[in-house]
Amino acid sequence: MIQGKGARFVCGDFRRYSSVTEMLQRLQWESLQARRKAYKLVMMYKTANNLVDLSVANFNLQQSPIHPHKYIQPFTRTDCYKFSYIPSVVRLWNGLSASVAQAHAIGILRPAMPAVIYQTY
């Protein structure tokens, strides 16, 4: 909703029957949901590669014994916890291919994001 209002403002089109979807496509804006997922993946990449002052151990995450680049999905009893940062970022991270998750540069992560970001769970 807020992004639609922003698109109307930028395009200068406040008519009632103007299509906000067409405005967003014309502006080539990524949805806010996709941007949040992208920022989560970037932060997880930085955390997993010790590029920020956080540790995966702080989140009580365990690496998968079968796939060393993946993490065991934490058990969630409620939706409130299921859609919080840690469980949601683990779901996104585990959707990355091994070559992308183990990349030595963040530039490799960014082109691979759309495949994971636009998946629905």
Q: Which one-letter amino acid corresponds to residue 69?
A: H
- Measured CA to CA, the distance from residue 22 to residue 1 in angstroms comes to 14
| Number of domains into which the chain is organized | 2
Residues 36 and 26 in one domain: no
Residue 112 near residue 88 (C-beta atoms within 8 A): no
Q: How do residues 58-116 score in pLDDT, each as one tens digit? A: 777 877 878 878 888 888 899 998 888 889 999 988 888 887 877 878 777 777 777 66
Residues 1 and 44 in one domain: no
Residues 108 and 65 in one domain: yes
Question: What is the average pLDDT across 42-68?
Answer: 81
Helices (H) and strands (E) in the chain, counts: 7, 0
- Measured CA to CA, the distance from residue 22 to residue 89 in angstroms comes to 30
Q: 13 lies in which domain range?
A: 1-30
